[in-house]
Structure 1
Amino acid sequence: MHELRSLLPYLKPYRRVFLVGLALVVISNFFATLGPRFLQHGIDALSDGGGFHEVRVAVALLLLVAIAGGVARYGMRELLNSGSRRVETDLRDQLYDHLQRMSAEFYDRYSTGDVMARTTNDLLAVRMVAGPALMYVVDTTIRALLIAPAMVAISAQLTLLALVPLIGLPIAMVSLGRVMHRRSQEIQAQFSELTSHAHENLSGVRVVRSYRQERAEIAHFRALNDTYLYRNLGLARVQGAFFPLLTLLGGLSGVVILYAGGKLVMAGSVSIGQFVAFGVYLAMLVWPMIALGWAFNLVQRGAASMGRINQLFREDPAITSPPSPTALPPATGARAVEFRDVWFSYPGARERGRVLQDISFRVERGSSLAIVGPTGSGKSTLVDLIVRTYDPDRGAVLIDGVDLRQLSLPDLRRAVGFVPQETFLFGETLRRNILLGAPDDGRLERVADISQLTEALPALPDGYDTMLGERGINLSGGQKQRAAIARALAQDPPVFVLDDALS
């Protein structure tokens, strides 16, 4: 439950919205609790043989408080639910910003599907805590505080007897709540695994089909989905016992009222109107308590989900800008790159040994260097170190004599143009894919000509404004590579690095 404390800073900017919404909770319940009192007056007027004028007054007052209470409840729901949506949006924005700053080492440990599940399904569960759960918890508490004195005013003895069965409510909530929390965590974890599998296989669907693995992958997905179903059914069984138990306790209170209250009416201690009003008060109290069980379940799921989100927030990027970055020396063109006694092994795979050992070389300004070697010899690792995807374990990588770790990340990324081995294009126009933040000042045509991308333009229906599919699916492999080269050139970098980007 302590995980939900981290939600409080996101509520603070909208404290007025929530305070007004909670004030409307109080107002709506105030009007709701007046209804049984007017009902009592109307019934007693009929029982006592009074004039029908008193009945008309009671009906008018009942109608008035029903309208006022309904308006207040509408405002309550509108404000609290809209406030929770704003909290959800802010939390999602901050989480996305945090994920943008994470290093490659983070994404080595967290799959894309897992991260997606946390930013969607888990965020939804947290929103339900900030909205409906909060609303129902406060609503039930306020209603109990207003109704209990009204019930005591009718008959303290009957109130005590009616509330005895409800003592079991907190016991049921605590005992079953722990089980629901644990099972909620298991469900969210399984949903992440299911999402990861679906994302991976849909991304590689052509490979799956090429190797005739459709049935195997369907079977694997079905097994994961069945496990997800099994865990949800386990939670449903607990919930299935939880809500009927609450209803049973409420029903026992009704039985007590009918028996003990009937005796009081026959003895003349309580009027018929008071008896009916007391029953309405109890009904108004029992249903919110049942709804409180639903809200309690939302809180348990939300706490489990907030814990999974906080796990991401507690991750710190391994690659950051230094507190006092060093600027690169002034230069009008290319820059020199140097590896000095570099040793490196991948985080999380130290047992596989060093990928690079005691590597030293220098590439002077304006010159080129090609590095060849067998698969797995560390060629791509050299590129990863130049762009600071990782930092070396020992030694240093330098640009114009400045250690990359002393540069701010924006300065480093402006200095290095990088074309990865695996080309990635966004589902945007070709123009936006190439420029990617660079000004459209004529450089597009220049870099497209250098990368020989212009040869592909006649085949594209809208030229540079052709919308690309996911990962550039409507371009050939060679066209994707040329687009990636053009994109790196469009940044006009002093250092240009290609990782096996030419076929």
Structure 2
Amino acid sequence: MKSLLALKPYFKRYRKTLIFGISTILISTGFQVIAPVLIRDAIDGLQADFTQNKLLEYAGMLLLVSALSGVFLYLTRRTIIDVSRHIEYDLRNDFLKHIQTLSLRYYQNTPTGDIMAHATNDISAVRMFVGPAVMYSSNTIFTFGIIFTLMLTIHPMLTLYALLPMPVMSFLVNRLGKILHKRYDAIQSHYSVLTAAAQEFISGIRVVKAYVREDYEDGKFDGLSKEYKDKNMAMAFIQALFMPSIMVLIGLSVIIVVWYGGLQVINETITLGEMTQFLIYLGMLIWPMIAIGWVVNIIQRAAASMARLQKIFDQVPEIQDDERTDTSITEIQGRITFEDVSFRYNPDDPIVLDSIALDIPAGSTVAIVGHTGVGKSTFANLIPRLYETTGGVVKIDGRDVSEIPLDVLRGSISYVMQESFLFSETIQNNIGYGVAEASLEEVEEAARVAQIDKDLKDFPEGFETILGERGITLSGGQKQRVSIARAVMRKPKILILDDALSAVDTHTEDDILKNLREVMKDCTGIIISHRISTVKNADHIIVLDEGKIKESGTHEDLIALYGQYAELHYKQLLAEEIEEME
């Protein structure tokens, strides 16, 4: 329940509307309790000298009271449900803004399905608390408070008899509510697992089909679904106990009132009209009593969901602007310096980069080669500060990257990663993604540089062609070239190509690199590749091995060194010759 206190700022934001909505509940309840008074007077009047006109007068008053109660009930639903939707909207936006600030390390350790479950089910559960639960809780409190007072004025002892089952009801609500909270928390946790499994299956459907693993995946998902069903059935069992238990207690209360109240009418302690008024009031308490079980269920769900959400909101971004940040820095030139930089992903993990020292002049191009897993991508990730160094300092233009505002640093860098991610948007929007306003002419020029413009002629809609999820409608090479075009569009000060040409043929690769040299003359380039043809024209080449710089120099220097680079070069030459012979 404490987790729901985190919603306090959201309630404050809409407190005026919320107060108005709760006020309408009080007014609506006030009109509702007038009706039994009119019915009492009418019944008692019928035993006296009631006329037909008087009866019509009471009927008219009842109609007016019911209409006014209905109007304010409408205002109640209109305002409080509106507030719940606004808070849901704000909470979902705040959630998205927050997770965007979290570091890559968080995403590496958290399944996508888990995050999706938070963004959908958990927020919806909280919205149900903010809207229906608040509305019905307020209605229950006001209705019970007003009617209890009025029942006491009719006959105090009869009121006490009517409320005899209440302690038992309170015990049931408290006991079953705790069980519901635990079971709903377990359901939501498993829902995250189920969502992650479904997302992984759909994303990898081509692999599943290629390896004929449909039955295996079906069995695995069936197991997860069965577990999810069993958890829901366990909670449904507790929910099923709620209503019957409450209805039995309500029925018991009615029996007591009819018996004891009937005796009071016989003894003329109360009138028949008062007895009728009392029974109507008791009937008016039935829905709030029933609603208690439903509201407790909603509150327990919301508390569990908000606790899960709060765990994410409590995650402090590992990398953010802080007291070290110099806000006067508004641009960078592109000089990159690694001063004795070391890095490991977790304290217990093996070291990935070990004492890297390197100075890259602004406007120059440096290539990084090496076997898989030697730290090439990690090296690139440290430049835009996607991770913090374990030791040493990465500097841009002589300033520690932690001193440069993140939006300035990352806004000046274009990073084409190994896996080309494209959005389910038009090709034009994908290329222009990193620019606030991109004209078609600029997009076309970027496409020309990346050598994707010719391919677009085969698409019926050209630049307006909408790509499938993650660019599934494009080949691997086409996706890489669209990603390169997107990077070029930003006119960055630093361009990082992390194995970004691996799916492109060597002829097209040469054309792209030639175009890049022409349009990115003042840009610092970092090229990571396994192909010697990609890196041979770089101003400087370094060979990483076991997290350290093993070789360094120009293409010619490294060939003359007859080391790892030269070995890789001659192997690739031999492979090309064999391919040509075939």
Give matches, 1:34-433, under 5 Å.
Answer: 34-48=34-48, 50-326=50-326, 335-347=334-346, 350-433=347-430
**Cα 1:463–1:161 shift into 2, 3 Å:** same
Of the three residues 425, 429, 434, the one matched with 2:431 is 434
Distance 1:35 1:469, change over 3 A: same
1:468-479 equivalences under 5 Å are: 468-479=467-478
Cα distance in 1 between the residues matched to 2:2 and 2:291 = 23
Give the deviation of 1:470 after TM superposition.
1.2
What is the CA–CA distance in structure 2 between the aligned matches of 1:405 and 1:23, rounded to whole Å?
52
Cα separation, 2, equivalents of 1:172 and 1:330: 64
CA distance in 1, matches of 2:51, 2:141: 38
Q: What are the Cα deviations for residues 266-314 of structure 1, in whole angstroms up to 9, with x where unaligned? A: 2222222211111111010122111122111111110111111111100
Q: How far off its partner does 1:49 sit?
A: 5.3
- Contact 1:197 / 1:221 at 8 angstroms: preserved in 2? yes
Q: Output one character per residue of 1:361-410: Cα deviation in whole Å (capped at 9) or x when no partner.
A: 23233332222222211111111112211111001222222221221111
SS at match of 1:352: coil
Residue 16 of structure 2: aligned partner: 16
Match of 2:562 in 1: none
Identity %: 39
- For residue 328 of structure 1, report the CA deviation from its aligned partner: 6.1
Separation in 2, partners of 1:404, 1:57? 82
Give the superposition deviation at 1:51: 2.4
Q: Aligned equivalents of 2:445 and 2:287: distance in 1?
A: 71
Q: In the alignment, which residue of structure 1 is the partner of 2:531?
A: none
SS in 1 for 2:129: helix
Report the secondary structure of 1:459's partner residue.
coil
Counterpart-to-counterpart distance in 1, 2:63 and 2:411: 69
- Please tell me whether the aligned partners of residues 412 and 492 of structure 2 are also in contact (alpha carbons under 8 angstroms): yes
> Which segment drifts farther, 310-319 or 401-410?
401-410
Letter in 1 for 2:62: L
Take 1:375 and 1:411, find their aligned partners in 2: how far apart are those partners?
31
CA contact (8 A) 1:166 1:250 kept: no
Corresponding residue of 1:482 = 481
SS of 1:426 mapped into structure 2: coil
CA distance in 1, matches of 2:146, 2:335: 77
Q: After the TM superposition, which of the residue ranges 50-59 and 154-163 deviates more from structure 2? A: 50-59
Question: Structure 1: how far apart are the matches of 2:245 and 2:177?
Answer: 13
- Letter of the 1:383 counterpart: A
Question: Offset of 1:329 from its aligned partner?
Answer: 9.6
The one-letter amino acid of 1:425's match is L
Residue equivalent to 2:444: 445
| Alignment check: 8 A CA contact 2:329 2:405 kept | no
RCO higher in 1 or 2 (8 Å CA, sep ≥ 6)?
Answer: 1
CA shift in 2, pair 1:165/1:414, >3 Å: closer
List runs of 5+ in structure 1 lacking aligned partners. Answer: none
In structure 2, do the counterparts of structure 1 residues 324 and 449 end up closer, same or farther at CA, with 3 Å as the change threshold?
Answer: same
Contact 1:111 1:196 in 2 (8 A): yes
2:365 counterpart SS class: coil
**In the alignment, what sits opposite 1:500?**
499
- Amino acid aligned to 2:60: A
Deviation at 1:229, TM superposition (A): 1.2
- Tell me if structure 2 keeps the 8 A contact 1:27–1:69: yes
Aligned to 1:456: 455
Residue identity matched to 2:237: R
Residues 331-350 of structure 1 deviation map (CA, whole Å, 9 limit, x = unaligned): 7xx62222221111113xx4
Deviations along 1:441-490, one digit per CA (max 9) or x if unpaired, are 53322221111111212112222122112111111111110000011111
- Residues 245 and 344 of structure 1: is their aligned pair in 2 closer, same or farther, counting only changes over 3 Å? same
Letter in 1 for 2:390: D
More helix per residue? 1
In 2: Cα distance, 1:249 partner to 1:275 partner: 20
Equivalents in 2 of 1:431, 1:308: separation in Å?
Answer: 38
Cα 1:189–1:138 shift into 2, 3 Å = same
Query: Structure 2: which 5+ residue stretches go unaligned?
Result: 504-582
Cα distance, 1:176 vs structure 2: 1.3
Whether contact under 8 Å (1:102, 1:316) holds in the other structure is yes
Once the two structures are superposed, what CA deviation does each residue of 1:163-205 show, in whole Å capped at 9, x if it has no partner?
1112222211111111111111111111111111111111111
Larger Rg: 2
Q: How many residues align?
A: 499
Q: Secondary structure at the match of 1:460?
A: coil
1:491 partnered with 2:490: yes
Q: TM-score, structure 2 length as denominator?
A: 0.83
CA positional deviation for 1:437: 4.0
More deviation, 66-75/358-367: 358-367
Matching residue's letter, 1:419: V
Which stretch of structure 1 is more off in the superposition, 448-457 or 416-425?
A: 448-457
